[in-house]
Chain A
Amino acid sequence: MTRIPRLAATALFGTLALAGADAALAAGPALGDAAKSSINIHAISMFVAFVLLTLGITYWAAKRTRSAAHFYTAGGGITGLQNGLAIAGDYMSAATLLGLTAMVYTTGYDGYIYMIAFFVGWPIILFLMAERLRNLGRYTFADITSYRLDQGRVRTMAAVSSLTVVCFYLVAQMVGAGQLIKLLFGLDYVIALFIVGGLMMIYVTFGGMIATTWVQIIKAGMLLCGGTFAMLLAMSHFGFSYATVVTEATAVHKLGFKLFQPGALLADPVNAVSLGVGLMFGTAGLPHILMRFFTVSDAKAARKSVLYASAFVGYFFNVIFLMGLCAIVIVGTNPEFFENGQVGGRIIGGGNMVVMHLAKAVGGDLLLGFLAAVAFATILAVVSGLALAGASAISHDLYSRVIMKGKATEQTELRVSKIASIGLGLVAITLGILFERMNVAFMVGLAFGIAASANFPVLILSMYWRGLTTRGAVAGGYSGLVCAVVLVVLSKLVWVQVLGFATPIFPYDQPALFSMPLAFLVTIVVSKLDHSRAAAAEKAAFEDQYVRAQTGFGAAGATAH
Chain B
Amino acid sequence: MNEAVYARIRANPKFVSLVERRGRLAWTLAAIVFVLFYALVLTIAFAPGVIGSRVAPGSTLSVGIAAGLFQFVFFWILTALYVRKANTDYDALTAEVVDDAVAADVAATREAATTAAPAAAAAVTPPRLREASGGARR
User: Which A residues are closer than 8 A to B by beta carbons?
Assistant: 109, 112-113, 115-117, 119-120, 122-124, 126-128, 131, 138, 147, 242-243, 246-247, 257-258, 260-262, 266-269, 272-273, 276, 280, 299-300, 303-304, 306-307, 310-311, 314, 317-318, 543-544, 547-548, 550-557
Contacts and interface: CB of A to CB of B under 8 A. Distances in A.
B45 to A, nearest CB: 4
Interface of B is mostly: helix
A42 B102 CA distance: 60
Contact of A314 (B10, B42, B76): B76
Chain A to chain B: the 10 pairs with minimum beta-carbon distance, closest first: A261-B52, A260-B62, A269-B45, A246-B60, A272-B45, A127-B26, A243-B60, A127-B30, A544-B6, A547-B6
Given A261-B49, A273-B42, A317-B72, 5 more contacts: A116-B71, A127-B29, A131-B86, A242-B60, A276-B38
Contacts of B3: 544
Nearest to B46: A269
A120 B49 CA distance: 23
Nearest to A303: B83
Contacts of A113: 44, 68
Contact of A119 (B18, B75, B102): B75
Contacts of A550: 15, 18-19, 22, 94
Contacts of B45: 262, 266-269, 272-273
A201 B87 CA distance: 37
B110 to A, nearest CB: 20
A5 B92 CA distance: 54
B44 A262 contact: yes
Contacts of B130: none
A125 to B, nearest CB: 10
B106 interface: no
B97 A551 contact: yes
Interface string B14-57: 01001100100011011001100110111011101101101000
A112 to B, nearest CB: 5
Given A119-B72, A262-B51, A554 B38 contact: no
Interface of A is mostly: helix
Contacts of A280: 37
Contacts of A304: 83, 87
Contacts of A553: 2, 5-6, 9, 98, 101-102
Given A127-B26, A550-B18, A551-B15, A307 B37 contact: no
B9 A123 contact: no
A147 B137 CA distance: 11
A306 B26 CA distance: 14
Interface of B: 2-3, 5-6, 9-10, 15, 18-19, 22, 26-27, 29-30, 33-34, 37-38, 40-42, 44-46, 48-49, 51-52, 54, 60-62, 64-65, 68-69, 71-73, 75-76, 78-80, 82-83, 86-87, 91, 94, 97-98, 101-102, 135-138
Contacts of B42: 269, 272-273
Nearest to B135: A554
Given A300-B87, A551-B94, A553-B2, A314 B72 contact: yes
B99 to A, nearest CB: 10
- Most chain A beta carbons < 10 A, residue from B78, B82, B97: B82
Nearest to B22: A550
Contacts of A269: 42, 45-46
A128 B79 contact: no
Contact of A123 (B18, B52, B79): B79
Contacts of B65: 109, 112, 260
A455 to B, nearest CB: 19
Contacts of A311: 76
A317 B75 CA distance: 14
A115 B37 CA distance: 12
Contacts of B64: 109, 112, 260-262
B82 A303 contact: yes
B68 A303 contact: no
Contacts of A307: 79-80, 83
Nearest to A553: B98
B6 A126 contact: no
B44 A123 contact: no
B9 A551 contact: yes
Given A120-B37, A273-B41, A554 B26 contact: no
Contacts of B91: 299-300
A258 B101 CA distance: 62
B79 A257 contact: no
Contacts of B75: 119-120, 122-123, 310, 314
Contacts of B138: 147, 554
Contact of A547 (B10, B44, B48, B135): B10
A318 B65 CA distance: 10
B41 to A, nearest CB: 5
Nearest to B25: A127
Contacts of B80: 307
Contacts of B9: 547, 551, 553
A268 B46 CA distance: 8
- Most chain A beta carbons < 10 A, residue from B3, B76, B135: B76
Nearest to A464: B23
Contacts of A127: 26-27, 29-30, 33, 82
- Most chain A beta carbons < 10 A, residue from B29, B82, B83: B83
Contacts of A318: 69, 72
A362 to B, nearest CB: 21
B2 to A, nearest CB: 5
A122 B75 CA distance: 9
Contacts of A303: 82-83, 86-87
26 contacts: A115-B68, A116-B72, A119-B75, A123-B76, A124-B34, A126-B82, A127-B26, A127-B30, A242-B60, A242-B61, A260-B64, A261-B48, A267-B45, A273-B38, A306-B83, A310-B79, A543-B6, A544-B2, A547-B9, A547-B10, A550-B94, A551-B15, A551-B97, A553-B9, A554-B2, A556-B136
A548 B98 CA distance: 10
- Most chain B beta carbons < 10 A, residue from A260, A311, A557: A260
B87 A276 contact: no
Nearest to B101: A553
